[in-house]
């Protein structure tokens, strides 16, 4: 059987423990299906700074060469807060995304039946909520020119938001294709009433739209979009946006679903796919067996689907997670009263596989 190779980067904080849970799930999938997954491990973020002196070491970069997918935990923590900004743990994650060229970051958001009470929104707003944020991941202000200096005696800093039409075109095509496979509605979120870069996004996305007459295209300013997301979240299907707006709106979306510990992501568009939960490294709860591993387990499902075409196995994982939540099991972030630990909820997922 063909060898399916995955690079595992556990990272910092809760990263190692939630990745270990996902790997247990993968092991069960492997036993059940007979598919062999070949795992290699590498360092990223703070752990890589400590071991190699930088957050995205050459050694990790070399390991990308012969894998089809990367499964990542999370990076960052207070230990590295006062480090030279050029080698912060987060820089390692950004360098990895850039090195892979994964420009299309999919962040799906849906409401699990058992979790209506966990959402701060009233139940009537949560009906039919099912959308995906398509976030541009390797351009814009995250990668633009930046500098900090003293000018006219004042401490000054800037960060540049810059996109060319090719960068916009490829993510737009990705978003329209995604919309074609869903309910054919696409919302472009920007700030075109103020920013030139947003005006270019509108122009280019409007041109691509001509090739997708079946898709209904809507434009929203980001401030309005932030409001509509909590006012009528079910009105969204595919949300297309730039790197920074996608970062912000996906954290907002996670609260609609009940917890940031639930949302997975897939970063695609290149040969190798990158899969990671949308949440951070949560150093305050690391090592206590209370982190929610479900976003990472769901990211593994996305990995099997998008990098290996294992649709059936991906659905098995997603259904097992749905069932665990429907059966009333909760991690601490979701619990009013009783809750299971990181490992124990993973056992419940595995029982249902």
Q: Which residue lies nearer to ligand IPM by CB, 295 or 350?
A: 295
Can you tell me the distance from the alpha carbon of 266 to that of 105, in angstroms, rounded to the nearest whole number? 6
Is-contact 137 243, C-beta < 8 A?
yes
Nearer to ligand IPM, 44 or 217 (CB): 44
Nearest to 41 by CA among 60, 15, 21, 68: 60
Among this protein's residues, is 212 annotated catalytic?
A: no
Residue 276 touching Mg ion (CB under 5 A): no
Residue 179 interacts with which of ligand IPM, Mg ion, none, CB < 5 to 8 Å by class: none
Q: Residue 136, interface with Mg ion (CB under 5 A)?
A: no
Q: Is 145 a catalytic residue?
A: no
Closer Cβ to ligand IPM, 218 or 252, answer by number: 252
User: Which entry of ligand IPM, Mg ion, none binds 280, CB below 5 to 8 A by partner kind?
Assistant: ligand IPM
Structure tokens at 323: 């069932």
- Catalytic option among 20, 130, 159, 251: 251
CA distance 299 to 318: 10
Q: How many residues make up the chain in this entry?
A: 353
Residues binding ligand IPM (CB under 6 A) = 76, 90, 93, 247, 278, 280
Give catalytic status of residue 251 as yes or no. Answer: yes
DSSP 265: -
Question: Closest separation between CB of residue 276 and ligand IPM, Å?
Answer: 7
Nearer Cβ to Mg ion (136/247): 247
* 221 classed as catalytic: no
Q: Of 4, 63, 91, 191, which is the active-site residue?
A: 191
Whichever of 61 and 218 has its CB closer to ligand IPM, that residue is: 61
Q: Among candidates 251, 336, 258, 261, which has minimal Cα distance to 14?
A: 261
**Distances in whole angstroms, Cα of residue 336 to Cα of each of 110, 118, 294:** 21, 9, 18
| Shortest separation between residue 94's beta carbon and ligand IPM, angstroms | 6
- Catalytic entry in 103, 112, 142, 275: 142
Does 190 help bind Mg ion (rule: CB under 5 A)?
no
* Residues of span 232-251 touching Mg ion by CB under 5 A: 247
Residue nearest ligand IPM by beta-carbon distance: 90
Choosing among ligand IPM, Mg ion, none, which partner's interface includes residue 350 (Cβ < 5 to 8 Å by kind)?
Answer: none
Tell me the residue nearest to Mg ion as measured from the CB: 247
Residue 305 has φ and ψ, to the nearest 5°, of -70, -55
**225 binding partner (options ligand IPM, Mg ion, none; Cβ < 5 to 8 Å by kind):** none
Alpha carbons 53 and 67: distance in angstroms, whole number: 24
Is 81 one of the annotated active-site residues of the chain? Answer: no
Burial class (CB in 10 A: 0-12, 13-18, 19+), 58: exposed
- The CA distance from 122 to 272, in Å, is 40
CA 295 from chain centre, in angstroms, equals 9
The residues annotated as belonging to the active site are: 142, 191, 223, 247, 251
């Amino acid at each position: 059987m063909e060898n399916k190779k995955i690079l595992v980067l556990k990272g910092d904080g809760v990263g190692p423990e939630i990745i270990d849970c996902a790997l247990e799930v993968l092991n069960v999938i492997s036993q059940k299906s007979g598919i062999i997954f070949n795992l290699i491990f590498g360092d990223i973020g703070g752990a890589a700074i400590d071991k190699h002196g930088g957050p995205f070491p050459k050694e990790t970069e070399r390991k990308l060469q012969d894998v089809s997918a990367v499964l990542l935990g999370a990076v960052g923590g207070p230990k590295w807060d006062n480090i030279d900004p050029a080698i912060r743990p987060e820089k390692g994650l950004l360098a990895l995304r850039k090195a892979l060229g994964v420009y299309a970051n999919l962040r799906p958001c849906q409401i699990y039946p058992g979790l209506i009470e966990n959402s701060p929104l009233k139940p009537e707003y949560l009906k039919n909520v099912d959308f995906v944020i398509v976030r541009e991941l390797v351009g814009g202000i995250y990668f633009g020119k930046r500098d900090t200096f003293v000018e006219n005696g004042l401490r000054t800093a800037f960060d540049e938001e810059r996109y060319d039409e090719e960068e916009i075109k490829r993510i737009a095509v990705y978003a329209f294709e995604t919309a074609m496979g869903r309910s054919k509605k696409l919302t472009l979120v920007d700030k075109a009433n103020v920013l030139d870069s947003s005006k270019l996004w509108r122009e280019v996305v409007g041109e691509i739209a001509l090739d997708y007459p079946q898709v209904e295209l809507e434009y929203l300013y980001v401030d309005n979009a932030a409001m509509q997301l909590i006012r009528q979240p079910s009105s969204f299907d595919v949300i297309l946006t730039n790197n920074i707006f996608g970062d912000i709106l996906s954290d907002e979306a996670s609260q609609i679903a009940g917890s940031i510990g639930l949302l997975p992501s897939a970063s695609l568009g290149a040969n190798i796919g990158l899969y990671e939960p949308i949440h951070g490294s949560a150093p305050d709860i690391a090592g206590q067996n209370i982190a929610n591993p479900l976003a990472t387990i769901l990211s593994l499902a996305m990995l099997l689907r998008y990098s290996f075409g294992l649709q059936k196995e991906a659905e098995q994982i997603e259904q097992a997670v749905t069932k665990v939540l429907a059966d009333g099991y909760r991690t601490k972030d979701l619990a009013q009263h009783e809750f299971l630990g990181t490992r124990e909820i993973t056992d419940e997922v595995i029982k249902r596989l």
